Structures are given as structure tokens and as C-alpha cells.
Amino acid sequence: MEFGGTYPSHLQSARVSLIPDHVCRSADYYGSHITDGMICAGDKFGGWKRDACTGDSGGPLMCITNLHGYKTIWQLVGIVSWGYGCAHSQKPGVYSSVGFYLDWIIEQIYARSDVLYYFWDDLQRCHRKDVDYAIATADDN
């Protein structure tokens, strides 16, 4: 979808690059609006044509990771939060960092479930600094 366009009728996805924190916090990008709990991702190397957009909030930013050296899985690293329009140069999508809030998320799940214990090691394996790219997907709702 382009800014001001119509919503698609099916799930969309786009390959986007993670933008380093120091770049996203620079004056040319978002400056001090970016906090430690945020991740910037966009189509920096493809002409800024792909991005999260209006209606995508709450959608996932996923990474592919290798689990225990033998199984490739998708892991949630961010949640679509905000941005300046859609696919504007030097204004990538901004995502809430799951890694930054992981301790709080774990506390909330643990307080309500006894299942977490079995998945703790797996939850700690995906760290956004190790990700070369991510897949941003968003439902059109």
C-alpha cells in the first residue's frame, strides 16, 4: 500500500533492513524521539519503497534464527508502533523492541502460566543486534 492508497484485502509482507540505533537517532532521521525500547527498520537500500504504514500498528517484525544449530525458526523481535507517513526517505518504521521489554513480557506470562519454563532458553536466543534483516508483516485490519 502506498500512503493515501486503499487497504489490501490480504496479508502483506516486506523485507526490510534494521537501521542501526545511532543512525535512527541522528538529526537526519528521528533524533531524540527514538528511545532504547525502539527499533527502526525500513527499505534503506531499496530506495525507501517498503515500510510499515497506517493500519499496520501491532503487526510483527520477525527475524529468522537458527535454533540449537539445526532448526530455522521465525522469532518476533519488534511490534509496529509508529512512523512518519509511509516509506519516506530517512523516516523508517519504528517498532517496539521485544528484546528490550522481554523481562517484563516474561514476568507477565510467568505470572499467568507454568509453561514458560520450558521455552526460556529459546526466548533468549534471538537478539536484534545479531539480525541482518527482518521481515515486517502487517494485517490489513
DSSP line for 34-58? --TTEEEEE-GGGTS-----TT-TT
Indicate whether 29 pLDDT > 60.
Answer: yes
From CA 120, how far away is CA 109, in angstroms rounded?
A: 11
pTM, to two decimals:
0.74
User: What CATH number should be reported for the domain holding residue 27?
Assistant: 2.40.10.10
Instruction: List pLDDT tens digits, range 62-104.
Output: 988 776 777 788 888 999 999 998 888 889 999 999 989 988 8
Task: Compute the average pLDDT of residues 106-129.
Answer: 61
pLDDT band at residue 5 under the 50/70/90 scheme: low
Whether residue 105 lies inside any domain: the answer is yes
> Structural domain tally of the chain?
1
Question: pLDDT at position 135, please?
Answer: 36
Domain assignment of residue 3, yes or no: no
